Amino acid sequence: MFKENKGLILAGLVTCLPVFSFAQNLIQIKLQDLQVRQKRLIKAHRAVTNRDDQDSIEFRLFALRDEYQVLLSKNPDNVAVLVTYGLFLVEIDQRDDSLKLLLKADALEPEHPQVKNQLGNFMIEEANFAMALPYYLDAIALAPKEPLYHYQLGNLLFHFKRQFIEEEVFTEDHLHSQIFNSFKQAAVLGKDNLAFQYRYAEAFYDYPKADLKEALKEWQRIEGLTDLERDKQMTRLHQANLQLMLGNKELAKVILEKVRDPFLDPNKEILLEKLKEE
């Protein structure tokens, strides 16, 4: 996103423990403060379009980065600092530095699902699908109820499907099943995320063993979830397509009559042509 311009051992132990705890609390307070300001600034940066305003926010983000760096220099092996700072660097597109911090955090304490997920993302950016897989699987094992991790795994398996099969990591049947189940888990766990719902419904098309009637129900359900008329009509295109696949020509025709958005005309025409062919 950005480029920078620039006498008794026992007695001593007892008295040190509260000090250590207090120091840890101070670090946590500082991290929370940094995260609050980070979130506010990044949200503002995404909202503004004026170049001068963007430059002003970026200057403040780099100042925030300097505060993170000072905290890290004083606590170089603190996993919370490494993780929080590393994820911040992802946000400002300093990915090489972020990768170093997150790899160190993972080596010190390999039980952070968010770190595993981000390391998987880094591997995908380098097209290293084989290294991304164990990171995503670890993230899911550590946080099985986080829908994003299932979604990320599904995308990985889908986009590198050919490579996984060629290298015999999965059989074709097993891979299809894994992709479908990953998107299903994401949709089930992330009920409020429409992107997860859409992707699960789309996954039926790519799954040879898919139940088309279940797919139809999913698109009908999504139609009820969205408030945007264009999105509702888009789900009707899918419903009409599935009715055609199920052999219900008249039902498909009725549904297509409810698709009137000119933006969707090209896809509507494709389905109308299918109707004529049948």
pLDDT value of residue 17: 40
Query: Pick from 72, 111, 107, 106: which is nearest to 88 by CA?
Result: 72
Number of residues assigned to the chain: 278
The answer to whether 87 and 101 are in contact (CB under 8 A) is no
The answer to whether 121 and 152 are in contact (CB under 8 A) is yes
Residues 9-30: pLDDT tens digits?
Answer: 333 333 334 444 445 688 889 9
Other beta carbons less than 10 A from residue 66's beta carbon: 10
Q: Read off the tokens for 200.
A: 């699960």
pLDDT value of residue 278: 60
Residues 156-206: pLDDT tens digits?
Answer: 999 999 999 999 999 999 999 999 999 999 999 999 999 999 999 999 999
More confident residue, 42 or 141: 141
> In whole angstroms, what is the distance from residue 34 CA to residue 165 CA?
44
The answer to whether 152 and 165 are in contact (CB under 8 A) is no
pLDDT value of residue 3: 44
pLDDT value of residue 24: 61
The rounded Cα 217 to chain-centroid distance in angstroms is 25
> In whole angstroms, what is the distance from residue 256 CA to residue 60 CA?
52
The answer to whether 177 and 165 are in contact (CB under 8 A) is no
Average pLDDT (132-151) is 97
Q: Read off the tokens for 189.
A: 């766990």
Residues 222-275: pLDDT tens digits?
Answer: 999 999 999 999 999 999 999 999 999 999 999 999 999 999 999 999 999 998
| H-helix segments, the chain | 9-47, 51-74, 79-91, 95-108, 113-125, 129-142, 147-159, 161-166, 172-189, 194-206, 212-225, 229-245, 249-256, 265-277
pLDDT value of residue 23: 53
**CB-count exposure of residue 97 (10 Å: 0-12, 13-18, 19+):** middle
User: 126 pLDDT band (50/70/90 cuts)?
Assistant: confident
Residues 67-93: pLDDT tens digits?
Answer: 999 999 999 999 999 999 999 998 888
pLDDT value of residue 154: 97
pLDDT value of residue 4: 43
Average pLDDT (125-141) is 93
